[in-house]
Structure 1
Amino acid sequence: MVRRSSTATTQRGFPRWAWIVVAAAAVIALVGGVVAWYQANPQTSGPAAAPSATSDVANTPNGCLAGKSNDATGLLKAQKEAPHNEAGAVGFAAAVLRWIAQYPRPSVADGTRVSGTILAEGATGTVANLAANLAAAKPLPGVNSGSVNFADGRFAIEESTADMVRVTVGGTEVRNGKPTGQKIASTVTVVWEENSWKVRSDGTERTLDELFADGSAFSGGC
């Protein structure tokens, strides 16, 4: 369920795939534990501080790992290139959220193609039914384009081992080419399988106000 209010609202649980219109405002609800937070007075924050050394860049997740095209080919390329470390796992999780969040939505054919490559064995959660959810999705009236931008995004590590990372990633909703002031986030668990990061499950681990108040910035984003 997605609720609309004039203040930050805690959102627990997550809906099935939908792009839901609430009153006069379209609130994007995404596959995989995505929550949408309506803010009457959006937070403002400056750009992330520039890393002081090359090693800092390598160890800081990239919020634009899939590139600006944000198509299925870009997502699969990001999966292939994401390094076997925490930063790679977080960058890949952000790439997955960006791809799922876009509108017009990915085609069912792309959903099937992506599902066969990015989902871990025994994947659970809404994301496990990615292709079916895409097929069942309805048009979003009044919206020509939609996305989530990580230029000022945040991430928070919930749990991490060498081969498993559970992370909450979030960014700013963009609709019809303009930021809406709303935030979109998802908690994604990725595991290292067959020499790449794959999605095991999705959900919601924390509220959006917690993420954007306490989370870390990406090295870059789109």
Structure 2
Amino acid sequence: MTLAPTRPRRPRWPWIVGVVLVVIVVAVAITLTVAMHPSASPSPSKTPTATATASPSAGVAPTGCLGGSNRDNTMLLAAQKTAPHTTNGAVEFAAAVVRWTLRHPTATADEADAVAPQIIASDASPDFKDLGAAVTQNQNPSGGAVADGTDFYVSTAPGVYYVDSAAPDKVTVSIGAGYVIGGAVNPQLRTSTTYVLEWEDGGWRVQSGSLAHTTEDLFKIGTPFTGGC
């Protein structure tokens, strides 16, 4: 697993800063297996092709708010429990993981350790599973987009999703969200994260994460959530 988020930069779009965040909260090895360390340079732009995408399954379109508006373990596990065994269900769970992960104050080490066995796939790397160590080492999961010590979270209300690939038990999905600082959605700061999710033991779990798209590209190709929180 490799993950290499980029430092914030100002792209061609005036309303989006190319902030690409990592996946789950684990700042462990070199490029982040489950973490959020910025890399030395922005990730290169990618032009997705139509063949890389699978259409979301029929049913209720992803709201980006499954599990409720909180950003705690209860929300995350509720989203996992209620996310159906469909592509749209995988999208909803991925959005919940983004909301749980990208915030300050972050989850405590105990909270992260409590939820890790339930949300991380059994075939994920050992480092990826060590969420408690990650939150201890990395208290600013924004990768520098927000100043250290500043309270923030991300919202899917201005967010988008893009299904990179889909099979019955394995879905790769990219989630874009907006930063909320001081109670207001920042008009410029956005995030982009891609997850590989696997259906295991009756629920979606995170197998790995990456930065498959620049933030700008994701917001061009992504589908807006129908609700968001």
Q: TM bucket by the smaller chain?
A: 0.7 to 0.9
Q: 1:155 aligns with which of 152, 155, 161?
A: 161
After TM superposition, the structure 1 = structure 2 runs for residues 95-110 of structure 1, keeping only pairs within 5 Å, are: 95-110=96-111
Distance 2:163 2:126 in 1: 19
Shift of 1:218: 1.3
Letter in 1 for 2:171: V
In the other structure, the counterpart of 1:122 is 123
- CA distance in 2 between counterparts of 1:208 and 1:87 reads 21
AA in 1 matched with 2:203: S
Please, which of 204, 218, 227 is the counterpart of residue 211 of structure 1?
218
Q: For 2:184, give the aligned amino acid.
A: K
Alpha-carbon deviation of 1:129?
A: 2.9
Indicate which of 188, 196, 205 corresponds to 1:189: 196
Any unmatched runs of 5+ in structure 1?
Answer: 19-28, 37-54
Aligned: 1:200 with 2:207? yes
Task: Supply the distance in 1 between the matched residues of 2:82 and 2:96 (Cα, whole angstroms).
Answer: 12
Matching residue within 147, 166, 177 for 1:171: 177
* 1:59 corresponding residue in structure 2: 60
Higher deviation after alignment, 80-89 or 127-136:
127-136
In structure 2, give the amino acid aligned to 1:164.
K
The answer to whether the 8 Å contact 1:10/1:207 transfers is yes
User: Structure 1 residues 71 and 109 mapped into 2: Cα distance closer, same or farther (>3 Å)?
Assistant: same
Q: Are 2:7 and 1:3 equivalent residues in the alignment?
A: yes
User: Aligned pair in 2 of structure 1 residues 154, 86: CA closer, same or farther (>3 Å)?
Assistant: same
The verdict on how the C-alpha distance between 1:221 and 1:4 changes in structure 2, with shifts beyond 3 A counting, is closer
Deviation, 1:128, is: 3.1
Percentage identity across aligned positions? 31
Residue 52 of structure 1 aligns with which residue?
none
**Structure 2 CA distance, aligned partners of 1:173 and 1:12?**
12
Contiguous gaps of at least 5 residues in structure 2:
40-56, 141-146
Equivalent-residue separation in structure 1 for 2:91 and 2:38 (angstroms)? 18
Q: TM-score under structure 2 normalisation?
A: 0.73
Contact 1:62 1:87 in 2 (8 A): no
Residue 26 (structure 1) aligns with: none
Other-structure match for 1:41: none
Q: Distance in 2 between matches of 1:184 and 1:6?
A: 13
Superposed CA offset, 1:49-97 (max 9, x none): xxxxxx97x3311201121122101110110110010110000001001
Assess, with a 3 A threshold, how the Cα gap between structure 1 residues 80 and 12 changes in structure 2: closer, same or farther. Answer: closer
> RMSD value over aligned CA atoms?
3.1
**In the TM superposition, what are the counterparts of 1:141-152 in structure 2 within 5 Å?**
141-143=148-150, 145-152=151-158
Distance in 1 of aligned mates of 2:126 and 2:210: 7
Q: Which residue of 2 aligns with 1:85?
A: 86
User: 1: CA distance between counterparts of 2:226 and 2:101?
Assistant: 21
